[in-house]
């Protein structure tokens, strides 16, 4: 789903291609528009090597949910990416 990028996240970081804004996702998950902090959805593009004694859980291709303010933005060939720590990911869809 995501083409290979020349970006290697460091340590426990994960590069994510955020899902385009849609009111209903492919898997049927809807992110409600409420007062609480909303998890966001995206596809993992690349993962770091993990930290000492802490291997990574997610892998490239996983659809994941993450907190609204997680990560830092990065643009490559016109596409938006996010890079965040694995601990900012709350679930695999």
Query: The tokens of 59 are what?
Result: 């892998």
The closest alpha carbon to 74, from 22, 8, 25, belongs to 8
Q: How far is the CB of 20 from a copy of itself (least distance, A)?
A: 15
Nearer to a copy of itself, 42 or 64 (CB): 64
Residues engaged in binding a copy of itself (CB under 8 A): 6-11, 13, 15, 27-32, 34, 36-39, 48-49, 52-54, 57-58, 64-65, 67, 71-77, 80, 83, 86-87, 89-93
DSSP 86: G
Nearer to a copy of itself, 7 or 22 (CB): 7
Q: Which is nearer to a copy of itself, 1 or 53 (CB)?
A: 53
Sign of CA pseudo-dihedral 33, 70, 8, 61: negative
Evaluate the CA torsion angle 53, 59, 63, 68 in order and state its sign.
Answer: positive
In angstroms, give the least distance from the CB of 28 to a copy of itself. Answer: 6
Measured CA to CA, the distance from residue 65 to residue 42 in angstroms comes to 7
Q: How far is the CB of 79 from a copy of itself (least distance, A)?
A: 10
């Amino acid at each position: 789903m995501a083409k290979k990028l020349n970006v290697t996240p460091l340590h426990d970081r994960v590069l994510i291609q955020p899902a385009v804004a849609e009111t209903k996702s492919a898997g049927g998950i809807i992110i409600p528009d409420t007062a609480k902090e909303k998890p966001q959805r995206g596809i993992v593009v690349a993962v770091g090597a993990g930290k000492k004694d802490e291997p990574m859980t997610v892998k490239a291709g996983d659809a994941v949910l993450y907190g609204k303010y997680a990560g830092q933005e990065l643009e490559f060939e016109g596409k938006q990416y996010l890079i965040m720590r694995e601990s900012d990911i709350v679930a695999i869809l």
